[in-house]
Amino acid sequence: MTVEHGTGTGVHAADSLTADGLTVADVSVAYRRDEFVVRGASFEVPRGDVVALLGPSGCGKSTLLRAIAGLEPLASGTVSWGGEDLARVPPHRREFGLVFQDGQLFSHRSVAENIAYGLRVQRMARAERETRVAELLELVGLPGYGARAVTELSGGQRQRVALARALAPSPRLLLLDEPLSALDRELRDRLALDLAELLRGTGTTAILVTHDESEAGTIANRVLRMRDGRIDS
Ligand code: ADP
Ligand code: MG
């Protein structure tokens, strides 16, 4: 596996047996007893990689992503990071960032307050927080938008803010669930290019869930196909 953007340095002999990144091993998820929606999914996301989970609606992509985030219990299998099993690590302690299709911004807060959310949780000092928010606004192409109300933004701008909010605390893994699917085609193609560039430029490790083949190809450096709860090998 090649890591193009130099986020990883040399692997030391001592930890060469430990995967540096995410390992999903034989994960199954069921909402009802014995009705498996994800069936024995196994894959790795080495640090710096952007992997797409591509498949039709209803095949179990979001369920698998939520299981990786710790939001759905596993019926079997393990999710680990750097060799550490995350079974007992709650979602907010996994250092994973999440972006959903509809952004799920706090609509009564400003753009800057939305982006600063995770930084407040981390208890970052105010001055540092303001610098970081400005940095993120620049990164997602919305410089100077901090004071705006979220309700004044277009759909594309909202998704940029959702992305900035997820990236602000420097997550070790970014989980993107159809982040562009609610947008119209033209905007989607443009944002896909921006997102690809942003992820590569920042060396972000990410999983993109999508049903859109071209989006997967534009954004990810590896595409895993999913069908009926299984990942094709
Ligand atoms: P995708 O994201 O690929 O569209 P999902 O993971 O959302 O697929 O859904 C996979 C299957 O699990 C579907 O049949 C869906 O109806 C079912 N499902 C999703 N969420 C729940 C839930 N909370 N409770 C019960 N069934 C669910
Ligand atoms: Mg889904």
Residue 100 lies in a domain: no
From 171, 196, 221, the end of a domain falls on: 171
> What is the mean predicted confidence (pLDDT) over 193-203?
95
Q: Is 93 exposed, middle or buried (0-12, 13-18, 19+ CB in 10 A)?
A: exposed
Is the domain of 91 the same as that of 2? yes
Residues 71 and 180 in one domain: yes
* Residue-wise pLDDT tens digits, 123-161: 999 999 999 999 999 999 999 999 999 999 999 999 999
Residues 1 and 91 in one domain: yes
Same-domain check for residues 157 and 232: no
24 within a domain of the structure (yes/no) = yes
pLDDT at 13 over 50: no
Q: What string of H, E and C letters represents the secondary structure of the chain? A: CCCCCCCCCCCCHHHCCCCCEEEEEEEEEEEECCEEEEEEEEEEEECCCEEEEECCCCCCHHHHHHHHHCCCCCCEEEEEECCEECCCCCHHHCCEEEECCCCCCCCCCEHHHHHHHHHHHCCCCHHHHHHHHHHHHHHCCCCCCCCCEHHHCCHHHHHHHHHHHHHCCCCCEEEEECCCCCCCHHHHHHHHHHHHHHHHHHCCCEEEEECCHHHHHHHCCEEEEEECCEECC
**Whether the Cβ atoms of residue 128 and residue 160 lie closer than 8 Å to each other:** no
Q: Are 191 and 117 within one domain?
A: no
Q: What angle, rounded to 10 degrees, do the helices at 126-139 and 111-121 form?
A: 130
Distance (angstroms) between ligand 1 centre and the Cα of 230 equals: 14
The boundaries of the domain holding residue 144 are 107-171
Q: Enumerate residues lining ligand 1, CB below 6 A.
A: 31, 37, 55, 57-63
Q: Is residue 102 situated within a structural domain? A: no
Same domain, 6 and 119: no
Say how many domains are in the chain. 2
In a domain, 183, yes or no: yes
CATH of the domain at 232: 3.40.50.300
Count of other CB atoms within 10 angstroms of residue 32: 7
Among 171, 205, 220, residue at a domain's last position: 171
Asked whether residue 124 falls in the same domain as residue 166, the answer is: yes
Residue 1's pLDDT is what? 39
Nearest protein CA to atom 5 of ligand 1, as residue: 60
The residue whose CA has the least distance to atom 21 of ligand 1 is: 31
Q: Which of 125, 149, 171 is the last residue of a domain?
A: 171
Sheet holding 76-81, edge to edge: 35-46, 21-32, 76-81, 84-85
Cα distance between residue 191 and residue 135, in whole Å: 19
Rounded Cα gap, residues 160 and 39, in angstroms: 33
Residue 6 confidence class, pLDDT cut points 50, 70, 90: very low
- Ligand approaching nearest to the C-alpha of 228: 1
pTM of the predicted model as reported, rounded to 2 decimal places: 0.90
Residues 52 and 84 in one domain: yes
Answer yes or no: do 86 and 118 share one domain.
Answer: no
Per-residue pLDDT of 51-106, as tens digits, reads 999 999 999 999 999 999 999 999 999 999 999 999 999 999 999 999 998 878 99
- Please check the confidence at residue 8 and state whether its pLDDT lies above 90: no
In this predicted structure, the answer to whether residue 18 has a pLDDT above a threshold of 70 is no
What's the chain's average pLDDT?
91
| Same domain assignment for residues 15 and 63 | yes
Please check whether residue 184 lies inside any domain of the structure.
yes
How many whole angstroms separate alpha carbon 27 and alpha carbon 151?
39
At residue 41, the pLDDT reads 98
Domain assignment present for residue 61? The answer is yes
Contact 5, 50 (CB under 8 A): no
Q: How many residues make up the chain in this entry?
A: 233
pLDDT over 50 (residue 10): no
Q: Could you tell which of 34, 36, 37 is best to mutate to test the pocket of ligand 1, judged by most ligand atoms within 8 Å of the CB?
A: 37
Residues 12 and 90 in one domain: yes
Contact call for residues 127 and 109 (beta carbons, < 8 A):
no
Is the pLDDT at 9 greater than 70? The verdict is no
Domain contains 118: yes
**Residue 205: per-residue pLDDT:** 98
Residue 101 lies in a domain: no
Q: Whose CA is nearest to atom 22 of ligand 1?
A: 31
Q: What percent of the chain has pLDDT over 70?
A: 92
3 and 57 assigned to the same domain? yes
